[in-house]
Amino acid sequence: MWHAYPRAGTTLPLGDDGGVPDEPTGSADPLTSAEGTGDAGEPEAPAPPRRLRLLLSVAAVVLVLDIVTKVLAVKLLPPGQPVSIIGDTVTWTLVRNSGAAFSMATGYTWVLTLIATGVVVGIFWMGRRLVSPWWALGLGMILGGAMGNLVDRFFRAPGPLRGHVVDFLSVGWWPVFNVADPSVVGGAILLVVLSIFGFDFDTVGRRKAERATLGRHKADQR
């Protein structure tokens, strides 16, 4: 038998590789490639979402409610004269407060203004690293309330940094307050509870639980 070989300068027809496998040019399995993996060869977890938008949304709701209710109170309520809501227990009572929330620390208006300004700046700084939605809720409540009272400090009489805050709601023996006051206090209580139970602002879940899970994972690898 004899075999016919192609003459010089001729080409074989395309479409049939003759069963010859292609040479490997790289990793054929994207899951086994080094890209997108951590030190242990496992895919890196996606970064947790930041919660600054949630924080600002909560703060905006509190701020708008506080400003609108104060404007209505000044326009509709007689100064210092209680208007009954539920007997004498719950009343609308328009007063001007030079102190802190619930009429505390009166006479230190400019000091309270500077403290509130520092709180606002600090919350914005934390917001860049914020991951926990519950911390976003608490900080948003504090931010909205602090900004609501700061608006009064800067723009109401007797002048900037010394303006008196508008309070209009009286409940029993409790000092007269506004929307911003319980928002600040409620947000602070929420943050304390979160801290006690191990929820940090820069993690999604509990810090202790995450550490325990990481410890078990390392033990299983050994």
Position 38 scores a pLDDT of 46
Position 208 scores a pLDDT of 58
Backbone torsions φ then ψ of 55, nearest 5 degrees: -60, -50
Please write the tens of the pLDDT for every residue from 148-169.
999 999 999 998 888 999 999 9
Position 48 scores a pLDDT of 55
Position 205 scores a pLDDT of 75
Give yes or no for a contact between 122 and 143, defined as CB atoms under 8 angstroms apart: no
The single residue listed with the structure tokens 């590789």 is: 17
Work out the mean pLDDT of the chain and round it to a whole number. Answer: 80
Catalytic residue ranges:
167, 181
Position 30 scores a pLDDT of 47
Position 61 scores a pLDDT of 99
Residue 212 has pLDDT above 70, yes or no: no
Position 167 scores a pLDDT of 96
Q: What is the average per-residue pLDDT within 174-179?
A: 94
Residue 105: closest CA among 115, 90, 92, 91: 115
Give the three-class secondary structure for 48.
Answer: coil
Please write the tens of the pLDDT for every residue from 74-127.
999 999 999 999 999 999 999 998 876 665 656 667 788 889 999 999 999 999
The pTM assigned to this predicted structure is 0.71
Among 23-37, 78-92, 138-152, 200-214, the range scoring the smallest mean pLDDT is 23-37
Position 107 scores a pLDDT of 65
Between 61 and 160, the more confident residue is 61
Residue 46 has pLDDT above 90, yes or no: no
User: What is the DSSP track for 15-40?
Assistant: T--TTPPPPP-S-S-TTTSSTTB-TT
